[in-house]
A and B are shown apart, each in its own frame.
Chain A
Amino acid sequence: MNHLLKVEGLAKSFAGSKAVDGIHFTIGEGRCMALLGPNGAGKTTTIRMITGLLEPTSGSISFRYQEPGMDRRKLIGYLPQIPAFYGWMSGKEFLVYAGRLCGMSARAAEASSKELLERVGIADAGKRRIGGYSGGMKQRLGLAQALIHKPKLLVLDEPVSALDPIGRREVMALLSELKRETTVLFSTHVLHDAEELCDDVLIMREGRIAIHGAIDEIRASNRQPVLLLETEGDERSQGWVEEWMRHQPAFVQTAEVTGSGLRLVVNDVGAARRMLLAQLAEADVRVTKLEFGHTSLEDLFIKAVAR
């Protein structure tokens, strides 16, 4: 796989405490990578170092297209967590300004601004002052300004965290369209967003990488069958559950009582199914729900960050 960005031994300490502690990773060209982790894991610090807003304490960041002495910022489009604009400018003016700062001619910046405003869906508001924009509109304008110079890498810091459900939905749709055209790195603490959009995930915990790889591979290699049982919660069923917990069969890896039922992680789903169904029928347990599924990425995520 061709890598676009290569990060080696990247570290940053603030006043003695290590925010990012020597991480290594690469982003493949054309991939979409999610940077996941709980708050304070070092996601924003990592992103700020990649964009050049923060000087790393040690380590290196290199791009494939970066010739010696070239300004890395040319290759990056960045949308901060809370994008800030000059309230007295109109949306279009800001885009043209951003484009011209990236070295575009006045005409090219003008044409590209118009197209991008259309694309992010705020063409009508382009002539209005940014001071009057809503949070969702600012986020869209933020995306547009990050894309104006056709960056090789689009870096987004928690792009949907501050939005309401509708704005979130719309920005996600926009992102899934964008990821077809360029390489995307975005941070989030919402696992669901990462699952929906990304090819790769990088889970950080306390400044280190906990898990890194293609999302499908991670899911496949960490996938375990899960059994979910719920009962009506009457005395007999409760008694059966308690009794069952005392004599767990060998295929059970972890078992926990959830309200009126059970949640089991097992290694032999066939054996578990046969045995459980027979036992339930025999004991005449009042089952309301029985589900055979798999551990989700969320289980893995929680396991990784809570370790």
Chain B
Amino acid sequence: MTQWFVLYCREWLELVRSYKLIWVPIVFILLGASQPITTYFLPEILASAGNLPEGTTFEFPVPTAVEVLAQTLGQFGTLGVLVVALSSMGAISGERVSGTASMILVKPVSYGAFVTSKWAAMLTLSTISFAMGYGAAWYYTMALFEAVGWREVGGSLLLFALWLGFVGTLTILFSSLLRSAAAAAFSALAVSVLLSLSASMLPNAFAWSPGNLSKLAASFVMNHTAEGLWLVVLVTFCAMAAALTASAAVLRKRPSLDAA
């Protein structure tokens, strides 16, 4: 346990020194804040931007506060997922390529601890960043539209953070399987897109799929409940555990590049 904590502290130090702990939250805050603000000012933006003839009038249905938050989640679902994948794509392959993995793994370090410390750091980073971004969205929604209860926000936050964590876990798994960091990010994104698509096209067949998480989060903030939530959460946790186990096994089999 002490050893795991030492590994985790090193991950934290790297997050701080590589400025990831600054830029990732900033991207999320910008994403989160921009959605309610642009939605609110959309009529004015259009009116001032277009060369429209005098007397053109706009009729926009004013979205409700919860709709704005659900749209924000949509933004996080594309760009946010991309940022999470990019920020953890080199987690294991990077250490292997640079040779630090073979420096560390000849010490009596458990392979599982090595992987899970990276996973925990990824989870911390993505959850903190997303919470800040979603918090910003919530703040501007409250200021520009109307109040939204903390239960809806909290529930959807947890569900969506789980989705981001799941994508990050996939990235770490691919990062232990593939040599190239970019290929790992691409594979993780491709799998997450496939999961989301399959879940929305065939909702009944894929009712258990982690690909439902972003949809569930949006429905939770709008309706305060989400159907079939627990099954999906359970499957996601199991999938993450399996991915980490596989990742540690791959690392044990192939701790460094030239040992392939």
Contacts and interface: CB of A to CB of B under 8 A. Distances in A.
Interface of A: 44, 48, 51-55, 71, 73-74, 76, 78, 80, 82-86, 88-89, 93, 97-98, 100-103, 145, 149
B259 interface: yes
Secondary structure of the B contact surface, majority rule: helix
Contacts of B47: none
A48 B259 contact: yes
A68 B13 CA distance: 36
Contacts of B204: none
Nearest to A15: B260
Given A53-B255, A53-B256, A88 B103 contact: no
A85 B103 contact: yes
Interface in B144-182: none
Contacts of A88: 13-14, 17-18
Contacts of B37: none
B14 A73 contact: no
Contacts of B13: 88-89, 93
Interface of B: 2-3, 6-7, 10, 13-14, 17-18, 98-100, 102-109, 253, 255-256, 258-259
A87 B221 CA distance: 44
Contacts, number: 66
Contacts of A85: 100, 103
Contacts of A149: 107
A44 B104 CA distance: 18
A112 B63 CA distance: 64
A103 B3 contact: yes
A76 B100 contact: no
Leading 10 A-B pairs by shortest Cβ distance: A84-B99, A88-B17, A78-B106, A100-B6, A73-B108, A54-B259, A71-B108, A74-B108, A101-B107, A84-B100
B106 A86 contact: no
Contacts of A78: 106
A149 B2 CA distance: 16
A148 to B, nearest CB: 9
Secondary structure of the A contact surface, majority rule: loop
Contacts of B102: 53, 80, 84
A207 B100 CA distance: 27
A2 to B, nearest CB: 24
A35 to B, nearest CB: 17
Contacts of A76: 106
Given A53-B259, A55-B253, A88-B18, A83 B103 contact: yes
Given A53-B255, A53-B259, A83-B103, A97 B6 contact: yes
B106 A101 contact: no
Contacts of A53: 102, 105-106, 255-256, 259
Contacts of B103: 80, 83-85, 98, 145
Given A48-B259, A80-B99, A85-B103, A102 B108 contact: yes
A19 to B, nearest CB: 11
B56 to A, nearest CB: 56
A51 B14 CA distance: 27
A93 B100 CA distance: 15
A48 B259 CA distance: 8
A153 to B, nearest CB: 12
A53 B17 CA distance: 29
B12 to A, nearest CB: 12
B107 A73 contact: yes
Contact of B106 (A52, A97, A100): A52
Given A82-B99, A84-B99, A97-B6, A102 B259 contact: no
A74 B13 CA distance: 25
Contacts of B253: 55
Contacts of A51: 106
Contacts of B255: 53
B246 to A, nearest CB: 17
B10 A97 contact: yes
Given A73-B107, A84-B100, A98-B107, 19 more contacts: A48-B256, A52-B106, A53-B256, A73-B109, A76-B106, A83-B103, A84-B98, A84-B103, A86-B14, A86-B100, A88-B14, A88-B17, A98-B104, A100-B6, A101-B6, A101-B7, A101-B108, A102-B108, A145-B103
Nearest to B103: A84
Contacts of A54: 259
30 contacts: A44-B258, A48-B258, A51-B106, A52-B106, A53-B256, A54-B259, A73-B107, A76-B106, A78-B106, A80-B99, A80-B102, A82-B99, A83-B99, A85-B100, A85-B103, A86-B10, A86-B100, A88-B13, A88-B17, A93-B13, A97-B6, A98-B103, A98-B104, A100-B3, A101-B3, A101-B7, A101-B107, A101-B109, A102-B107, A102-B108
